[in-house]
Amino acid sequence: MENTYRLYILIFIAIILSGCKKNDEPPENQIQINITNGVIIVNEGLYPTGSGTLSLYNRLSGETNHKIYQQANNGKLLGNIVQSVNVIRNKVFIIVNNADKIEVAESTTMKAIAAIKSIPYPRYVLEIDSFKAYVTCWDNTVKVIDTESYDIIKSIPVGTGPEKLLKTGNKVFVLNLGGFDIDSTITVINPESDEVIETIQVFPKPTGITTDKNNHIWVLCSGKGWNGIHLPDDSEGHLICFNPADYSILHDIDFPSKTEHPVNLVAGKDRDNLYYYYTGGLYRFNIDSINISTEPFIKRNMYYGLGFDRVDDLIYISDPVDYMQEGWVLRYTETGTAVDSFKVGIIPQEFYFLPKE
């Protein structure tokens, strides 16, 4: 009886003490993210360890914050493999490819608020309007996501292995890379009806897409084959330009080699210069040119991700080193002058440039 009485006393004291605890204490491990001057770097992580991370570079301070999602969520791993990211309506949509999911976090704290699961091999996400987004998936569909409820409200059949998307005017252009196979098409979707309205035939493995100063669309097709692995049916890459209104091809420029394959494509400040990776480094192409340059604009053998920051007008290049250790981000001006570099996570491969207020 005496032990029971002591137990009641201890419980009563615990209740009193818990009631006296301050309610205005900040949550543990919560961090604040300065989204106005940041660049998010997506680090794939080692397959299949789930070690993918997000790094945040602050343009004003020059500081880099590593593993921002893990820091904000008690060490919780994003999963395998972190593919891409987009900020939609103050929420960060993080594509985790092999985990078949999208993690959603608050943009100001990186606190997890939702997870969209059972979404097969997601690759890239694009905001369509105030309530929905498109996600390319390697089940050969584009999923229409409600950005408030996080429900999948529709699945749009497209080509094989859809990858990057571009919205211009009242059309969405989807590159069908081929996934585990080879595709040579671009699917055009009406974002109001979520219906396919056209399929454009291009060249094998379209990997990069952007617009120029004339509002024309440029697409980089890598060609069949892999760099460093020569196969009998290898084909050359192509850089094509077409009119988004009627899909007419305005330029078709082929690359000189069938065994070297161009990848990635971004436009510079004035959208009159395009940048891409090819043998030996980074290349620059002026949209008024008719020939591909034979010499790299920036010579560097190791590269992976490519981006252009329209806040500082700088080229971002990622170097995965040996694909085992932490990689690097290197920044250059459009004249090719090296600005600086900083270390990030394992296999950095995508950039998201947050706007500046």
pLDDT digits (tens, 9 = 90+) for 107-156: 989 999 999 999 999 999 999 998 999 999 999 999 999 999 999 999 99
Split at pLDDT 50, 70, 90, the class of 231 is confident
* Residue 356 pLDDT: 81
Split at pLDDT 50, 70, 90, the class of 34 is low
Q: How confident is the model over 209-214, as a mean pLDDT?
A: 98
pLDDT in tens, 240-282: 999 999 999 999 999 999 999 999 999 999 999 999 999 999 9
Beta-sheet pairing, 306-309 with 314-319 = antiparallel
* Residue 2 pLDDT: 36
**Backbone dihedral angles phi then psi of residue 11, each to the nearest 5 degrees:** -65, -45
Distance, CA of 331 to chain centre? 18
Examine the pLDDT at 229 and tell me if it is beyond 90.
no
* Residue 62 pLDDT: 93
Percent of the chain whose predicted confidence (pLDDT) is above 90: 80
CA distances for 126 relative to 84, 88, 172, 177, angstroms = 11, 8, 10, 17
DSSP E strands, 37-131 = 38-43, 53-58, 64-65, 82-88, 91-96, 101-106, 112-117, 122-127
Examine the pLDDT at 302 and tell me if it is beyond 90.
no
* Residue 270 pLDDT: 96
**3-class secondary structure, 83:** strand
Q: How confident is the model over 170-176, as a mean pLDDT?
A: 98
Split at pLDDT 50, 70, 90, the class of 3 is very low
Q: How confident is the model over 323-340, as a mean pLDDT?
A: 96
Which region holds residue 60: left if phi is over 0, alpha if psi is between -120 and 50, else beta?
Answer: alpha
Examine the pLDDT at 46 and tell me if it is beyond 70.
yes
pTM greater than the 0.95 cutoff: no
Q: How confident is the model over 316-325, as a mean pLDDT?
A: 95
Q: Which of 301, 327, 295, 314 is nearest to 41 (CA)?
A: 327
Split at pLDDT 50, 70, 90, the class of 8 is very low
Q: How confident is the model over 200-225, as a mean pLDDT?
A: 97
Cα separation, 235 vs 143, whole angstroms: 31
Q: Is the dihedral of CA 98, 100, 105, 111 positive or negative?
A: negative
* Residue 30 pLDDT: 53
